Structures are given as structure tokens and as C-alpha cells.
Amino acid sequence: MKIIVTGGAGFIGSAVVRHIINDTSDEVLNVDSLTYAGNLESLTSVEGSDRYHFSQTDICDTAAMAALFEEFQPDAVMHLAAESHVDRSIEGPMAFVQTNVVGTCSMLEAARGYWQKLTAEKQASFRFHHISTDEVYGDLEGTDDFFSETTPYAPSSPYSASKAGSDHLVRAWHRTFGLPVLVTNCSNNYGPFHFPEKLIPHVILNALHGKPLPVYGDGSQIRDWLYVEDHARALYTVVSTGKVGETYNIGGHNEKRNLEVVETICDLLEELRPEKVDGVQRYRDLITFVKDRPGHDARYAIDADKIQRELGWVPQESFESGIRKTVQWYLDNTAWWQRVLSGDYRLTRLG
């Protein structure tokens, strides 16, 4: 296949691009506007492939996207480009509406214009895969409930509300125009090349520098953690074998309290990097409880039975194996995250 991946310089998008180039024979056009979280240095291992192409383009520019469709002639779109940090959505919600809602509408229109001109055979095989989040469902009160593909939407933050809106647009373009779409909703991702503002890399890097490890509230919030490379494999499985019009929830089967995640990272660092900065006796001593986030969801948990039953996907990593790989990756790749923290990674941008 020839696949357009939007947001391919981001955390999950770059994992998808690396998976496609390294593990399939498909061709990729990475479309990314390179906002602050887009990092081309996450793709240095594949940028030399003749099956990899890059375009610095804003998905909100429908005309530019339509031109890329005509030039590249894709068989599928994997739409990951999105603003995704909840705290940033509280501080500046308009950017999230622009990218996640308007940008998705722009992508749908560019894809529809391209798809309508294809032959009947190519129309039937074309796929528009929209990648979303479990946060559109709100949160779960009990400890036994799980999000399923039919759980009603109840987003809590500007981020999750904007993603919910984009999900609705994708399904509407399928219902109204017949565009062959797929939707996936995933749990919290973690792994290599994760932008340091997110919980796990933030804790790792703060610990290495002897800085406080902030935990919202009492740290009792529960998340289902999905190793990003498992997610990339799941997404490729869906775009290549999923049923048109269907939604698939993707989870890691790893529910952990936020405090437990932070403590696990501290314990791994005690083992893997026992040498600490001056003044730090134990990494756990750096844990600091801070005022809770407004509208903070208590628990997310995914029922991923459908994708396993219908498409045969299961995660390969447990949380224990995945978090160890993640901590070790940050210890082994200081040049990558130091350039992110300093802002030097922006020097690799094009245009």
C-alpha cells in the first residue's frame, strides 16, 4: 500500500512510520506541520528509505492536502495529527478545536475529493483510518467497568471534547458520503521518543536531574497503559484488515494508578541508574503531590476484546516489560531528549 500518515513526526505517528518502513513493504508519505511536538529526529532510522517521504504541510490547508493526495495517490490514510496534551488544552482550547476538529474536517474533504475520482475498484479498497483516544468516553466510576466501542461519549476536557468532535465528523462522512472509514480509540501510550511533557518521560527526566516528580492529587487516577510499538502494530492491523465503518478500541491490559507508575519508574532507576545527582538519597523522595487538574478523570480502562477477536491483535508487552524498555531507552538516548529539552531539535525542521 501507499499510505499517508498525518502527524508522522509525533510520538505515536513516528512509531507507525517506523513500523511501516521497518516491518512492511509499504510506502509512506509523512505529513506533519512540525508544531512543537513534531520531531523529525524520531525518524532518523528510516528517513533514508526510498519508501519514506515527508511533507511539511498543515492539515487545515485543504487545498494543499488535496494536492498531496493527487501527487502521492494513496491507498489509505492514517490520520494521527492532533493536539493531545490535556493541560495545554485547558490553557488554550482554541488550538485544539482548530487542529483536531477543523483539521480533521479538512482531511476528510481532501480525502473525499480524491476518493470520488478513483475507479470503483480503488474506491472499494481505499481506507481513511482516524486514530482517536479513550478520553472521549469520559471516565469510569467503578473498578469493574470498561470502555467498549459502544460506550456513550462524555468528554471532560477541551482536548477530549475536540477529539470526540473529530470522531463524529469521521462517522458522518462515512454515513453521508460513503467514505470508507475506520476509527480506533486507544488508551494511554508510552515508550521511546515520547515528548517530555507527558507523565512517564517527564518523571524519568526529572528524576535524573533531581527535580520534583509532580503527581496530581493523591495519584489514585487509573490509566490503562499501552506500549507505543504495540499500538503501531494494532493500527497497521486495523488499516489493512479492519472492516469499513467499524470502531476498534485498543488497550494495553495494564491498569495502573498514576502513583504506582511513578513509583515503578523510581524503582527501575534505582536499579538501572543508582548514581544520583547531589542531595538525592532515593528517587522516591522526589515524589511531590500537587493540586489536581481541573476535571481530572478518575479511571480509564479499555475493553480490547473486539480487536483481538476479529483481527487477532494482542499487545506483546506487559507494563513491566514495556516500562523497563522505556526507562532504558531514555538512559541510552540522552542526545535525543537533551535536544528536545534545549529546543535544538527544532533546528532539524524544514522550510
DSSP symbol at 147: B
Q: Name which residue leads in pLDDT, 253 or 68.
A: 68
List the single range of 25-34, 260-269, 337-346 with lowest mean pLDDT: 337-346
pLDDT at 350 over 60: no
142 band by pLDDT with thresholds 50, 70 and 90: low
Model pTM?
A: 0.95
Residue 194 cell numbers, joined: 515520547
- Spell out the domain ranges in the chain: 2-195+225-255+296-317
Q: Which of 135, 230, 255, 263 is catalytic?
A: 135
The predicted structure's pLDDT at residue 60: 98
* Rounded alpha-carbon distances, angstroms, from residue 17 to 8, 27, 60, 189, 283: 6, 9, 21, 16, 35
pLDDT at 143 over 70: no
| Cα(317)–Cα(315) distance, integer angstroms | 6
The predicted structure's pLDDT at residue 193: 97
Q: Percent of the chain beyond pLDDT 90?
A: 90
The predicted structure's pLDDT at residue 293: 84
The predicted structure's pLDDT at residue 351: 45
Of 46, 61, 55, 51, which Cα lies nearest the Cα of 105?
A: 61
Helices (H), 86-157: 86-91, 93-96, 103-115, 120-125
Grid coordinates 478520553 are at which residue? 135
The predicted structure's pLDDT at residue 47: 97
Q: Which of 159, 190, 227, 345 is catalytic?
A: 159
228 and 15 in contact (C-beta within 8 Å)?
Answer: yes
Please, which contacts does 43-47 make with residues 24 or more away whose CB atoms are closer than 8 Å? 43/8, 43/9, 43/14, 43/17, 43/18, 45/18, 46/17, 46/18, 46/21, 46/22
Q: Which of 134, 139, 167, 263 is catalytic?
A: 134
157 and 263 in contact (C-beta within 8 Å)?
Answer: no
Q: Which pLDDT tens digit goes with each residue over 160-201?
A: 999 999 999 999 999 999 999 999 999 999 999 999 988 999
The predicted structure's pLDDT at residue 53: 98
Average pLDDT over residues 264-280: 97
SS3 182: strand
Of 208, 209, 212, 190, which Cα lies nearest the Cα of 199?
A: 190
The CATH superfamily holding the domain 2-195+225-255+296-317 is NAD(P)-binding Rossmann-like Domain (3.40.50.720)
Average pLDDT over residues 99-127: 98
Residue 16 cell numbers, joined: 507507525
Helices (H), the chain: 11-23, 62-72, 86-91, 93-96, 103-115, 120-125, 158-177, 199-208, 228-241, 258-272, 305-311, 319-332, 334-342
pLDDT at 10 over 90: yes
Residue 324 cell numbers, joined: 523497563
pLDDT at 306 over 50: yes
* Rounded alpha-carbon distances, angstroms, from residue 145 to 223, 224, 302, 303: 13, 13, 9, 9
Chain mean pLDDT for the chain: 95
Q: Is the dihedral of CA 108, 109, 114, 115 positive or negative?
A: positive
pLDDT at 269 over 50: yes
The burial class, CB within 10 Å (0-12 / 13-18 / 19+), for 88 is middle
pLDDT at 14 over 80: yes
Is 153 a known active-site residue? Answer: no
CA angle 273/277/283 to nearest 5° reads 60
258 and 297 in contact (C-beta within 8 Å)?
Answer: no
The burial class, CB within 10 Å (0-12 / 13-18 / 19+), for 323 is buried
Q: Percent of the chain beyond pLDDT 70?
A: 98
| Cα(151)–Cα(154) distance, integer angstroms | 9
Q: Which pLDDT tens digit goes with each residue over 311-340?
A: 999 999 999 999 999 999 999 999 999 999
Is 344 a known active-site residue? Answer: no
Q: Which residues of 116-127 are buried (b: 16+ CB within 10 A; e: fewer)?
A: eeeeeeeeeebb
- Specify which residues 5 forms β-bridges with: 30, 78
191 and 321 in contact (C-beta within 8 Å)?
Answer: no
Q: Which pLDDT tens digit goes with each residue over 221-244?
A: 999 999 999 999 999 999 999 999
Is 159 a known active-site residue? Answer: yes
pLDDT at 280 over 90: yes
The predicted structure's pLDDT at residue 349: 60
